[in-house]
Structure 1
């Protein structure tokens, strides 16, 4: 990474090329796991690589380089998806621009998740959904706080409330299913 920041343009270009070779497969994989389409994933990965190179001075070598790059890729992909959904809402004219940020979770992020789980996650607010997805990607509370511009306590609260809400939804659906089964059995005996 020191060479990526090097003053000599030739050294810098060679180091950047090596960095791209090393981390692009992982960055693209992270973007694909979040983005809705392959084109969106490629755009996000390209933007993430630009940010990785521009942020080279921020890498302190305290952890895995690939993991550090993956975090930038996830953050970049989420940001691009949010921006795209806002643009789409504005173009369609169906949503007030001030309300876009408070809408529910970006459905594109949950498309890779099995349908039943998606149904539970779809009930979460965008804030809760976002912190839950970032936590599932391995981000720490402090990293999530930094990325979402919320305090660590707010992140913890959103995670706790998201988990409670999903658990409550699961229990409610189990009770409804059980009641339906009992009613079906009782109805057949009449």
Structure 2
């Protein structure tokens, strides 16, 4: 099966965003518009996946470059945001793996939280995201990554297993442990963060 050419991508989904096709064709304004719209989403997802804020901007920039370079691979199957989320998650995991290998930035204190309000989000959503990332910072990364992919991005357990290259039962265990850890933390804090992690 051959991949559709750039001209087919813009038509792949009725009502698809014409900026995608224009960006693939090299139109700078369309690419800038898409990336500016995605930036708060990218930063928030990166922040959900990494502990602290020290590297959020660097990883987000790397993810935006990966999105731009990978636009021609978007086939219009499923939402553009879901495709973008997966690119951002993969970029973040690759960055974390490189950082672990060089033991870069270990032990730095997290700076102010980088959850970024989007223009169309209710005012309290920013506060909710800040509280969620503070809770996520307190659980092990393995559980955190499984929880974010499953509960925030909506991937099935099988998809999380495939995305992380980890056995299905291990992912189920990490989800169970992560959920229990978050519930315990919410109990300690005496205040539930709302519906972003369940």
Q: Same fold (TM over 0.5)?
A: yes
Q: From the two aligned structures, give the one with the greater helix fraction.
A: 1
CA distance in 1 between counterparts of 2:38 and 2:180 reads 40
Hey, what does 1:149 align to over in structure 2? 165
- Which residues of structure 2 form unaligned runs of 5+? 1-19, 107-131, 183-198
Residue 146 of structure 2 contacts residue 171 of structure 2 at CA under 8 Å; is this kept in 1? yes
Hey, what does 1:50 align to over in structure 2? 65
In structure 2, do the counterparts of structure 1 residues 35 and 114 end up closer, same or farther at CA, with 3 Å as the change threshold? closer
Hey, what does 1:112 align to over in structure 2? 134
Hey, what does 2:86 align to over in structure 1? 71
Hey, what does 2:12 align to over in structure 1? none
Hey, what does 1:35 align to over in structure 2? 50
CA distance in 1 between counterparts of 2:79 and 2:165 reads 24
Hey, what does 2:21 align to over in structure 1? 2
Residue 144 of structure 2 contacts residue 178 of structure 2 at CA under 8 Å; is this kept in 1? no
Hey, what does 2:195 align to over in structure 1? none
Structure number with higher relative contact order (C-alpha < 8 Å, ≥ 6 residues apart) = 2
2:170 to 158, 164, 171: 158
Report the CA distance between 1:77 and its aligned residue: 1.7
CA RMSD of aligned residues (A): 3.4
The two structures have a TM-score, normalised by structure 1, of 0.57
CA distance in 1 between counterparts of 2:24 and 2:178 reads 45
Report the more deviating stretch, 19-28 or 33-42: 33-42
Runs of 4+ in 1 over 4 A off after TM superposition: 163-170
CA distance in 2 between counterparts of 1:148 and 1:5 reads 28
CA distance in 2 between counterparts of 1:42 and 1:166 reads 26
The two structures have a TM-score, normalised by structure 2, of 0.55
Q: Which has the larger radius of gyration?
A: 1
